[in-house]
A and B are shown apart, each in its own frame.
Chain A
Amino acid sequence: MKAFSFVSRELGDQKDAAMFDLRGYIDAHTVIEFERAVNASIDGGVKSLVLDLSGLSYISSAGIGAMMGLARKLSQRGGDLVLLSPTQKVFAILEGLGFTKIFKIASSETEALEKLNIKVS
C-alpha cells in the first residue's frame, strides 16, 4: 500500500470548496505531500475544505500541526476546515491532544456541508 494518497473533488455549487479523501497515513514524511496538495487547492481559490479521514490509519504530530495550520489559513480567507469521519484511532489522537475542541468534526458528508454552510442544488 502507498504510504499516503488522496483523491480530491469540488463541493457544492460554488467553486470555492473541495473535499479531499485521504488514504494511508500522515507522518513527518508524507505530510509534505499532503501540504502541497491542499496548498495548491487553496492557491486555486478554494476557501473551505472537507478532509475525509475515514481512510487515514494514523496521523503524527507533524500531520496534526499541518491541519492546524491549514485550519488557520482557511479561516483567514473567510473559509473553514471540517474533518469527516476520522477512524477511532485518529479520533483518539485528536481527543488526547484536546484538539476535538478546535477542529470541526462531522460524521457524514451532509453534516460536513452544513458545518461549512455549503448548499448543494
Chain B
Amino acid sequence: MSIPWAIYFAILVAMGVWVIRLKAVEKEQAQALEKIERERRAVFMFLNNLGERLTTSRIAMEPALQIIIEFIVDRADAEAGAIFLLDPADNQLAARVVQGMFPLLNPTTERVLTKQKYLTERVKRERIPLGQGVIGEAALTGKPILVADAANDPRVPNVTLGYLTIRSIMAVPLRARGVVTGVVAVVNKREEAVFTQADLDLLLMLADQAASTAEMVKLYNEQAEKQRIEQELRIAHDFQRMLLPSECPDVPGYEIAAFSRPALEVGGDYYDFFWVDPEQRHLGIVIADVSGKGIPGAFVMAMVRCTLRVVARGRLSPREVLVEANSRLYADTKENVFVTMTYGILDTQRRTFRFSRAGHEPLVTVKYDSGAVRLTSPDGIALGMVDNDLFQTTEEAELHLEPGEAVVLYTDGVVEAMDPEAREYGQKRFFDFLVAQRHSPPQEIIENALKDIEAFTRGHPQHDDITLVALRVRTDIMEVRVQPVVSAAPTG
C-alpha cells in the first residue's frame, strides 16, 4: 500500500501549499480572484486524476481468474472454457475470463469472429440472464449441468461455423458462502471426445477452487478499499482542522467562542471569522454546513471558505456577499452539492449584527435581563443550487444588540441530535437551555450545550456534525468607546 500513501501525502502537501498560498493571495486583493480561480481548477483537476489512479492499488480480478481458467481447461481436457460472474444488480451473467475459442451462447449471425481475440471480446460482452441456457440455468438452480449431446439439446445454440460448434458442454455454479456468484463452463472435450460424469466431478472440484479464489480477491479488494477510505477520511479530517480558525478573534466589548465536532472523521460543517475592513470595525462571522462528506466535502468546504473570504472583503452587505459567493459556487460545484450558511457582519461600533441566511438554521438571540428569545429567519436559499436569478430573492436582516445579549449560530446537527429512541434534541430544548445559560460567557454556553446534548443523546451515535458559534455583547460595553454612526452601511 506504499503507492497510495505517497499519493495521499502528495494530496496533503498540495492542499497545504494551496491553502498557504491562498492566505498570501488574500492580501493582494487586486489579482486575487483570477489567481484563485486558476488554482482552484488546478487542484480540482489534480484530485480528479488522482481519484482515477488510486483504484490501481487493487488486485485485478481478471488475472487471478485467468490463471484458474487456464488450469481448468487444461485439466478438463477441454477446447475452451470461461468463468462467468453474476452481477447482482441486474441478475445477468457475463464472462470475465475466457480461454480458447469459447463460442457465443446467444444465437448470432455475425461472421467476423474468426480471430480468437475478437471472439473473446465478443463473448465477454455477451450478457446472459439468470435462467437462460446452460449457463443461466446452472446459476439459477445452483446445480451442475453436463450436456453430452449438445446438438440435440435445446439449451445449446446451433452454430453452423465448425470451430464454434458446441458438441458437449459442462457448466458448474461457483459459490461463495452458499450463494451462487457465477458459473464456470468448459466446452468440447479434445480429440472429438465427449464429457463424462468423471469429467464433471473433476470440474466440480476445480470450480470450488475458482470460487474461493474469486471470493478471496474480492474480500481483499474490499479490505483495501476500506483501508483506502479510512486513510482518505483521516487526511480530510486533518485538512479540515487546518481550515478552522485556531482561535476566536479578540474583539473589545464582545466575547466570542466557537466549536465544531464532526460526526464521522470528516464533517461538512465549518465556521470562520475575519475582518471585513482594514479598520477592524466590521467582523465577518460564518457558519456553514456542506452537504458532502469525505474528501469531496472537505474540498467544497475549502472552496467555500476561500470564496467567501475573498468576496466578503470590503462588502458590508452579507446578502451581496452570499449572492456573489453563490454565483461562483453554482458554477463550480456538482449539481447535488449544496451549502447552507449564515453569514453575518458584526458592526462592533454600532453594535449591530446584519446577516443573511442561505438555507441555514434560524439565528437566535437571547436578551441578558429578560431572557427573551428572538428567532430571525430571513428568506434565503442554500448556496450552489440555483443560479443568481433565483438566489437574488435571498434577504438580509439587521439586529441591534443590547449589552449582554447573546447571538447563537448553530448547525442542524445540534437540534437534530437524537436519543436512542430517535427523538430529536429539538429547538425548544436548545432555546430553553440558552435562556438558562444567558449569563454565562460564550465559551461556557458552548461547553454546557455540548454537555446538555450528550445528556440528551445518552451515547447514541450521531450522524451529523455539531457546530456552534456564540457571541455575547459584554455587559460593560458602555465603557468601551461606542461612536454614533451617521450613515448606514450600503446594502446590496
Contact = CB atoms under 8 A, between A and B. Distances in A.
Interface of A: 27-28, 36, 60-62, 64-66, 68-69, 72, 96-99, 101-102
Interface of B: 89, 268, 289, 291-293, 334-338, 340, 358-361, 379-382, 385-386, 390, 393-394, 463
A-B interface, 6 closest residue pairs, ranked by CB to CB distance from nearest: A98-B381, A65-B336, A61-B291, A97-B359, A69-B336, A69-B335
Contact of A101 (B337, B338, B381): B381
> Of residues A64, A68, A69, A101, which shows the largest number of chain B Cβ atoms within 10 Å of its Cβ?
A68
12 contacts: A27-B463, A61-B268, A61-B291, A65-B336, A68-B335, A68-B338, A97-B381, A98-B379, A98-B394, A99-B359, A99-B381, A99-B382
Contacts of B463: 27-28, 60
Contacts of B393: 101
Nearest to B391: A98
Contact of B338 (A36, A60, A61): A61
Given A98-B394, A99-B385, A101-B390, 6 more contacts: A61-B340, A66-B336, A68-B336, A72-B335, A96-B359, A97-B382
A28 B336 contact: no
Contacts of B268: 61
A72 B380 CA distance: 20
A97 B336 contact: no
Contacts of B293: 28
A72 B291 CA distance: 17
Contacts of B289: 61
Chain A CB within 10 Å, residue with most, of B293, B379, B385, B394:
B385
Which secondary structure dominates where chain A touches chain B? Answer: helix
Contacts of B359: 96-99
A102 B291 contact: no
Contacts of B338: 61, 64-65, 68, 97
Contacts of A99: 359, 381-382, 385
Interface centre among A61, A65, A102 (most CB of B within 10 A): A61
A58 to B, nearest CB: 9
Contacts of B361: 96
A97 B394 CA distance: 11
Contacts of B381: 97-99, 101-102
Nearest to A100: B381
Contacts of A101: 381, 390, 393
A65 B338 CA distance: 7
A61 B360 CA distance: 12
Contact of B337 (A27, A36, A65, A97): A65
B335 A97 contact: no
B335 A62 contact: no
A67 B24 CA distance: 39
A31 to B, nearest CB: 9
Contacts of A97: 338, 340, 359, 381-382
B142 to A, nearest CB: 26
B485 to A, nearest CB: 31
Nearest to A58: B416
Given A28-B293, A61-B289, A68-B385, A98 B336 contact: no
A98 B361 CA distance: 11
A66 B360 CA distance: 19
A28 B266 CA distance: 14
A72 B337 CA distance: 13
A98 B337 contact: no
A102 B336 contact: no
A121 B320 CA distance: 50
A66 B444 CA distance: 38
Contacts of B340: 61, 97
Contacts of B358: 98
B380 A64 contact: no
A61 B463 CA distance: 12
Q: Report which residue of A60, A64, A65, A99 has the largest number of chain B beta carbons within 10 angstroms of its beta carbon.
A: A65
A59 to B, nearest CB: 12
Contacts of B390: 101-102
A27 B335 CA distance: 17
A96 to B, nearest CB: 6
Contact of B291 (A36, A65, A98): A65
A101 B359 CA distance: 11
Nearest to B293: A28
